[in-house]
Structure formats: C-alpha cells, structure tokens
Amino acid sequence: MFNSIMTGWYQGKGNKNFRKEYFGTALNYYEKALKHARKDGNIGAIAITLECLSRTHNFLNDKVSAIQCAEEGLSLYKNDLQKLPFKQGAERLEALLHSLKRKGLEEEPNAES
C-alpha cells in the first residue's frame, strides 16, 4: 500500500513539473515513482510511469533513454490489451516510438556531416 501511495504522489509531482516544463525535476519525480511502482508490482503504474519517463527524456533530447523507456512500457501494455487503458497506452507509445525513431533517422546523416 505504501508503495502504491508513493507512486501516485511522485507521479503527480512529476506531472506538475512536466506541465511547467521543469523537465529535469519531472524526470527525478518520475524515476522515484518508477522505483515505488516496481516495488508494488503494479504493471499499469509501471507502464504509465515509463511512458512519462519516455516523454520527459524526449524533451531533454535523450532519445536513447526515451526509446528504451517507451519500448519497456509498450511491452508491459501489450501484455494485457483487453484492458482499455492498456490498449490506449500501447497506441500512445507506438506513436511516440515511431516519432522518436523517425527523428533519429532524419538526424543521423546530419550528425555525420
């Protein structure tokens, strides 16, 4: 129960800071939320927190971490697509991954020149 409460509390703090565009602070809160969600074993909480981490890493231009978090979250969502929130989460992360990977391919030639 404690870990569930702490997951929600840190998730909320992360969301508040993300909306204010304090991405570094949001990242810190989301990482704490993920730690508690993993201890709690709540697959939905882990997946949504990974989704938030992915979006935050993306805003911080850490595409590698953004992709890693998105892929892990997507695999968790896909374990139970019968649940509507999981299906919607999977759709969001698939779109985010597509965008991240497309951007990575577009930027790759510029990095070499």
How far from chain centre, in Å, is Cα 43? 13
pTM of this structure: 0.82
Distance CA 12, CA 45 (A): 12
Can you give the pLDDT at residue 104? 62
Judged against a pLDDT cut of 80, whether residue 81 lies above it is answered with no
Judged against a pLDDT cut of 80, whether residue 16 lies above it is answered with yes
Amino acid identity of 63? Answer: K
Quote the tokens at residue 71.
């892929």
Q: How confident is the model over 58-77, as pLDDT tens digits?
A: 999 999 999 999 999 999 98
Quote the tokens at residue 87.
């299906």
Distance CA 71, CA 83 (A): 19
Q: What is the CATH number of domain 2-112?
A: 1.25.40.10
Judged against a pLDDT cut of 90, whether residue 101 lies above it is answered with no
Amino acid identity of 73? Answer: G
Distance CA 17, CA 98 (A): 25
Taking the domains of the chain in order of start, what are their residue ranges? Answer: 2-112
